[in-house]
Amino acid sequence: DAKTTQPPSMDCAEGRAANLPCNHSTISGNEYVYWYRQIHSQGPQYIIHGLKNNETNEMASLIITEDRKSSTLILPHATLRDTAVYYCISDNDYKLSFGAGTTVTVRA
């Protein structure tokens, strides 16, 4: 079972930042936080991951709280093509646990 909690859905306006929260209150010291997304029925796409520090790449930023019990994925300028199910995974195991994720709908 997934060890993270995410809101089931959220809407975002095109061009605005999308902030996706994730709770992982039982995370242990060596567990990373991974974010993937699945657009329609395609394969999951890796977005970003982190352990303690905030991370940024060409797709998104990941903000992890100091106690590591929660994190936020930030899509800086959402586009219609960012509409997808976003999965937050905290794990140190190769068996990635995909929960229900957050269905993000970007509206024009």
Partner 1 sequence: NAGVMQNPRHLVRRRGQEARLRCSPMKGHSHVYWYRQLPEEGLKFMVYLQKENIIDESGMPKERFSAEFPKEGPSILRIQQVVRGDSAAYFCASSLQRGSTDTQYFGPGTRLTVL
Contact letters for partner 1, residues 19-58 (x by CB under 8 A): ---------------x-x----xxxxxx--x---------
Cα 70 to Cα 95: distance, rounded to the nearest angstrom: 21
Q: How many CB atoms lie within 10 A of CB 99?
A: 15
Which run of H or of E encompasses 35? strand 32-38
- Of 14 and 51, nearer to partner 1 (C-beta) is 51
Q: Which amino acid is at 104?
A: V
CB of 87 to partner 1, least distance (A): 7
From the CB of 44, what's the least distance to partner 1, in Å? 5
Residues 62-91 that bind partner 1 (CB under 8 A): 87, 91
Residue carrying structure tokens 């890796």: 46
Any bridge partners for residue 20, and if so which? Answer: 73
Site residues (vs partner 1, CB under 8 A): 2, 34, 36, 41-46, 49, 87, 91-101
